[in-house]
Amino acid sequence: MMVLTRIDFIVSVCLFGIGLYAMVMEPNLIKKLIGLNIMETSVYLFFIAMGDVRLGPSTEQWAIAPFAQNIDAAASGKVAMVNPIPSALILTAIVVSVSVTAVALSIAIKLYQHYGTLDLRKMATLKG
């Protein structure tokens, strides 16, 4: 599999799994949020790794945008640059995730004030 040749993608998927596990299995609200942030980080890693365009004729080219740059120049090996778009996207995505975390933490604080605990199992007032 070509996927396995890129360590950054494997790490990204592993991080995604760890984050998802923490989010689903941990009963503590703060740990859930940490899991959420780990998941988001895995996506950032994926994007940033994808922007790495080392276009040499011998380089393994999995997940390198085929249309992003002039293909003729790439074939002659003259172009070797980092794709700037993923970095720009991730700047935006970080802002988004900071806002999600801020809203979530403020709700968690409110919940703590009401219940005196951060354990989600002890605050189940909603019926299935």
Partner 1 sequence: MQSSGSHLQVLIPVSYILSAFISPLLYKWARKCYNVLIPLITGAIFIASGVLFYKVLSSPVGFLEYFPGFSWSGERFLATGQPIGIVLRTDIFGALLVLLITGVGFLVSIYSFRYIAHEASEERIGYYYTLLFLMLAGMSGVPLTGDCFNFYVFLEVASISSYALVAFPGKEQSLEAAFKYMLVGAIGSILIVFAIGLLFSATGTLNMAYASQQVAKIVTSSPDSPLYNYRHLIFASVGLFVIGFSIKSAFFPAHAWLADAHPVAPSSISAMLSGLMIKATGVFLLIRFLFTVFGFHKGYYGQMLTPVFLVVAVATVIGGSLFAIAQTNLKRMLAYSTIAQMGYILIGISLLTKAGLEGSILHIVNHTITKSLLFLSAGAIIYKTGVKDIKGMARMGYRMPLTMSCFAIGAFSMVGLPPLSGFMSKWALAEASLEANFPLLVVVLLASSLLNAVYYFRVVGLAFFSPAQQGTGTNNSAQAHNSASESGSELPLTMAIPIIVLAAGVILVGLQLNPIMKVIKPAVAVLFR
- The contact mask relative to partner 1 for 10-29 (x = CB under 8 A, - = no) is ------x---x--x-----x
Distance of CA 106 to the CA centre of its chain: 22
Work out how close the CB of 63 gets to partner 1 at its nearest, in angstroms, rounded to a whole number: 4
Tell which one of 65, 82, 91, 94 touches partner 1 (CB under 8 A): 65
Which residue from 10, 25, 91, 103 is in contact with partner 1, where contact means CB under 8 A?
103
Shortest approach of partner 1 to residue 7 CB, angstroms? Answer: 16
Query: Is residue 118 involved in binding partner 1 (CB under 8 A)?
Result: no
- Element of type H or E holding 122: none
Coil, strand or helix: which one is 107?
helix
Q: Give DSSP secondary structure letters for 23-77.
A: HHH--BHHHHHHHHHHHHHHHHHHHHHHT-----TTS--TT--SSSS-HHHHHTT
Q: Is 85 in the site for partner 1 (CB under 8 A)?
A: yes
Q: Cβ atoms within 10 A of the Cβ of 105, count?
A: 13
> Interface with partner 1 includes 89 (CB under 8 A)?
yes
CB of 126 to partner 1, least distance (A): 5
